[in-house]
Amino acid sequence: MPNVTHLECSLCAQSFAANQIHNLCSCGGALLVRYDLDAVRKTWTRDSLVQAKPDLWRYWPVLPVNRRESVVSLGEGMTPLIETKRLAAAVGAKDLWVKDEGLNPTGSFKARGMSAAISMARELGITKIAVPSAGNAASAAAAYAAAAGIEAHIFMPMDVPQANFIECKALGAHVTLVNGLISDCAKIVTERKDKEGWFDVSTLKEPYRIEGKKTMGYEVAEQFGWKLPNAIFYPTGGGVGLIGMWKAFDEMQTLGWIGSERPKMIVVQATGCQPMVRAFERGDQRAEFWQDASTVAAGLRVPKPLGDKLILDAVRGSGGTAIAVNDEELIDAGIELASLEGMFVAPEGAACIPALRKLLATGFLKPSERIVIYNTGAGLKYLEAYAQRFPRG
């Protein structure tokens, strides 16, 4: 039963009614879902999770859907948290883990957000959705929309990885390839959505994707026996996963499940598109548009994240930092991780490894600290990016 009390603007704190269709606040802020956590706390214990289903819907009391039959699920969440001892030895760490989100449906963590968003869309009677995407959000949107019988309209950059394009087509979505970046795709959706009757499920313009992604925060706590790690490396494009985990930690503290300690939240970007690193280093509250964004890590090519302030608040509030690595470093790291640990990961996730090396070298992190890298996607989605290293013949 619904524990949602209302939605709240993340910038001006204006309140919005639950169970209605919403996009952004009129001030431009993203809406955050608020729950009656004091009531939840009385009836839901962390011990009861022992018997819960091994997917993200195990956190039902802090998810926004009202009716079980609205849920569109393909087995998302409860991904493995793997100790990577050989990688740890190679980088000079002692307690290093990878949360492998590449094992989600459609091969990325975007499945979490879309499972929540499409479930809510179904509950609210939405029949057509549209999404601008760097690739993986599109694949997830197409899959969950197909399973829900909802029409999906997808806008991706022309050079999106082939896997995402083929996947979306096979999943029955209406796909448009755009000569530009995700920001250009977003403009098209904004211009056409009212006339076409599309509900816009763009990153943070829709309030429920973040609720699905926040479960990465619940899971890491649960998998470590309710003790959070010292540092979390998160490959940041729109930053939704990081914002979601930060929200989850506060919720868990209110539930009495964890204390006030937080991991250092570390934003990892590519040198060819690092608006959050620049804003962090300048001490700014908001990020400026990154001109001529370019990187093989397609998910990191977000020139101006809508949730820039929320990302910076989490990084600063946690004593974390923001750091960029170049394309060569991140592809090298993907191959290193694969050969050391048997995990073939997305370039976005691989980017965390050179970032970790740099932060160990500067002393920002100590080798004894417990560190978790979020690998947000599967390497198999990025064959073009890796193929340049392995010419045939």
Strand partners, 112: none
Q: How far is the CB of 245 from ligand PLP (least distance, A)?
A: 10
132 makes contact, choosing from ligand PLP, Zn ion, none, with CB < 5 to 8 Å by partner type, with: none
Angle at 74 between CA 72 and CA 78, to 5 degrees: 110
Task: Choose between 181 and 240: whose C-beta lies nearer to Zn ion.
Answer: 240
Q: How far is the CB of 206 from ligand PLP (least distance, A)?
A: 13
SS3 380: helix
239 makes contact, choosing from ligand PLP, Zn ion, none, with CB < 5 to 8 Å by partner type, with: ligand PLP
- Piece of the chain touching Zn ion by CB under 5 A; list 9-17, 279-287, 290-298, 301-309: 9-17
236 makes contact, choosing from ligand PLP, Zn ion, none, with CB < 5 to 8 Å by partner type, with: ligand PLP
Beta strand segments in the chain, E: 4-9, 15-16, 31-35, 81-83, 95-100, 128-132, 151-157, 174-178, 199-200, 231-235, 264-270, 321-325, 370-375
Q: How far is the CB of 17 from ligand PLP (least distance, A)?
A: 27
d(CA 359, CA 356): 5
238 makes contact, choosing from Zn ion, ligand PLP, none, with CB < 5 to 8 Å by partner type, with: ligand PLP
25 makes contact, choosing from Zn ion, ligand PLP, none, with CB < 5 to 8 Å by partner type, with: Zn ion
Q: How far is the CB of 175 from ligand PLP (least distance, A)?
A: 16
237 makes contact, choosing from ligand PLP, Zn ion, none, with CB < 5 to 8 Å by partner type, with: ligand PLP
Task: Choose between 18 and 160: whose C-beta lies nearer to ligand PLP.
Answer: 160
Sequence-distant (6+) residues with CB within 8 A of 144 are 72, 74, 111, 114, 115, 117, 118, 119
Q: How far is the CB of 32 from Zn ion (least distance, A)?
A: 11
Q: How far is CA 236 from CA 78, 269, 282, in A?
A: 21, 6, 18
CA 205 from chain centre, in angstroms, equals 14
175 φ/ψ angles, rounded to the nearest 5 degrees: -110, 130
Task: Choose between 9 and 268: whose C-beta lies nearer to ligand PLP.
Answer: 268
Quote the DSSP letter at residue 8.
E
Task: Choose between 3 and 269: whose C-beta lies nearer to ligand PLP.
Answer: 269
Binding site for ligand PLP (CB under 6 A): 108, 110, 134, 136-137, 203, 235-241, 299, 346, 348, 376-377
Angle at 97 between CA 309 and CA 247, to 5 degrees: 30
Sequence-distant (6+) residues with CB within 8 A of 345 are 98, 100, 102, 334, 337, 338, 375, 377, 378, 379
Task: Choose between 9 and 56: whose C-beta lies nearer to Zn ion.
Answer: 9
Task: Choose between 61 and 354: whose C-beta lies nearer to ligand PLP.
Answer: 354
Contact 98, 343 (CB under 8 A): yes
Binding Zn ion (rule: CB under 5 A), the pick from 17, 21, 27, 361 is 27
Q: How far is the CB of 31 from Zn ion (least distance, A)?
A: 8
91 makes contact, choosing from Zn ion, ligand PLP, none, with CB < 5 to 8 Å by partner type, with: none
d(CA 283, CA 337): 33
**Binding of residue 15 to Zn ion (CB under 5 A):** no
d(CA 330, CA 386): 10
Binding Zn ion (rule: CB under 5 A), the pick from 4, 7, 18, 25 is 25
d(CA 194, CA 129): 11
Q: How far is the CB of 299 from ligand PLP (least distance, A)?
A: 2
377 makes contact, choosing from Zn ion, ligand PLP, none, with CB < 5 to 8 Å by partner type, with: ligand PLP
**Residue among 173, 103, 170 at smallest CA distance from 138:** 173
134 makes contact, choosing from ligand PLP, Zn ion, none, with CB < 5 to 8 Å by partner type, with: ligand PLP
Task: Choose between 32 and 325: whose C-beta lies nearer to Zn ion.
Answer: 32
**Helices 352-361 and 327-341, interaxial angle, to 10°?**
100
Q: Residues in the site for Zn ion, rule: CB under 5 A?
A: 9, 11-12, 14, 25, 27, 29
